[in-house]
Amino acid sequence: MNIDIYWKKFLDCVNSSIEKHIPKVKPSNKAKKKPWLNKEALVSIQEKKRAWKIYTMCKTKSNFQLYAQKRHIASRTCRLAKLNFEREIALNIKSDS
């Protein structure tokens, strides 16, 4: 047999294995947007991330305190956003019934 025939068989085998075992769709890193997440909560989360980035660049006590403050604010705004969203849903259920 010729080397070209072996090469063709090898390529066919590799291509069939690729088709069989490698997924065609790449998994997405994007998480679904939470319906309760409003603009105010998103802004507070971004501020928290910026404060964390500053802290990791220069680990000082004041930078950590700033991060801890932003973390507290972000937690509170997310909690309130979720609570308000749930209240709106509850009010809509009562009015729809």
- 53-78: pLDDT as tens digits: 999 999 999 999 999 999 999 999 99
- 5-16: pLDDT as tens digits: 999 999 999 999
Is residue 86, in this structure, part of any structural domain at all? yes
Is residue 91, in this structure, part of any structural domain at all? yes
- Domain span including residue 72: 34-96
Contacts of 73 (CB under 8 A, 6+ apart): 44, 47, 48
Is residue 62, in this structure, part of any structural domain at all? yes
pLDDT band of 40, cuts 50, 70, 90: very high
Is residue 2, in this structure, part of any structural domain at all? no
Contacts of 41 (CB under 8 A, 6+ apart): 74, 77, 78, 81
Residue for token pair 């928290």: 48
pLDDT (0 to 100) of residue 46: 97
pTM (two decimals): 0.64
Contact 62, 47 (CB under 8 A): no
Count up the domains in the chain and report the number: 1
The sign of the CA dihedral 23, 24, 27, 32 is negative
Is residue 65, in this structure, part of any structural domain at all? yes
Is residue 52, in this structure, part of any structural domain at all? yes
